[in-house]
Amino acid sequence: MSGNAYQDDRGNKDVSITNPKAATGSVAPRKSGQAVKSDDDSPFLIGENMTGGYSKNGPDILHDCTIAVNPGEIAVIVGPNGAGKSTAMKAVFGMLYLRQGRVLLDGEDISDLSPQVRVQKGMGFVPQNHNIFTSMTVEENLEMGAFIRTDDYSATMEQVFDLFPILKEKRNQPAGELSGGQRQQVAVGRALMTQPKVLMLDEPTAGVSPIVMDELFDRIIEVARTGLPVLMVEQNARQALEIADRGYVLVQGANAHTGTGKELLADPEVRASFLGG
């Protein structure tokens, strides 16, 4: 695609939408008393050994579950329905009661922070359901995404429009009138409006045709290539693992298989159990 700010940084005078300074290994100050791992082996974002559920006294949904992603990477979580993929994402975002484990962002333990504060720290999260405001226009949705910003976000909106040109065309239409694929673009665009340090997507291609899925994956790859780490859940396991630097197969709230996308695609057990042979 021509004229895209994500592929060509020459014309892009504004700080990138993806906040590359933040994502390229700068290390936030750590609170004293925290375990400090060396920068080399500590992922940019990690939900580590997470055990917990939706309430303090309820059942554990996650069991010693670990998911992580680094700058420039796409990490993909796959697994059967009800495996806890969304729950793991919500745990990383601070919407779960964790009995054990922790969440580190750029070396900082953020386990005790609210989702709101995590957004301010740089997490862009697109949930599986209800991820847009259907009665608001496309542009208003993107403006909502910029709610935490006090600076001029118009350049970021232009970058979102460069990434998803159809959204510019439909900027004044209610988002609820858009197709499934276009709605997902609104949802991803909304998350990008915060200039996140990491992008978390729960089933960004749910309910779209294979062609639209390929399109969306291409755009996600484009975003990841700018250095922005992408952690996503996908039900299109095979296609998602093909673009994954890191892959996690979750089963019953636990890590069943972990490896590069290629490794998982080649693993006979993963193929037989999760990829239809």
Binding site for ligand ATP (CB under 6 A): 54, 61, 79, 81-87, 128
Closest to 123 measured CA to CA, from 136, 108, 133, 134? 108
Smallest distance from Mg ion to CB 81, Å? 8
Smallest distance from ligand ATP to CB 81, Å? 4
**Exposed/middle/buried for 198, CB within 10 Å: 0-12, 13-18, 19+?**
buried
Smallest distance from Mg ion to CB 91, Å? 12
Contact residues toward Mg ion (CB under 5 A) are 85-86, 128
Phi, then psi, of 235 in degrees rounded to 5: -90, -20
Smallest distance from ligand ATP to CB 47, Å? 13
Residues sharing a CB contact under 8 Å with residue 240, sequence separation 6 or more, in sequence order: 76, 78, 217, 232, 234, 247, 261
Q: Which is nearer to Mg ion, 18 or 86 (CB)?
A: 86
Q: Which is nearer to ligand ATP, 146 or 264 (CB)?
A: 264
Residue 83 site contact among Mg ion, ligand ATP, none (CB < 5 to 8 Å, cut-off depends on kind): ligand ATP
Distance (Å, rounded) from C-alpha 120 to C-alpha 196?
8
Q: Which is nearer to Mg ion, 47 or 71 (CB)?
A: 47
Distance (Å, rounded) from C-alpha 32 to C-alpha 34?
6
The residue of the chain with the least Cβ separation from Mg ion equals 86
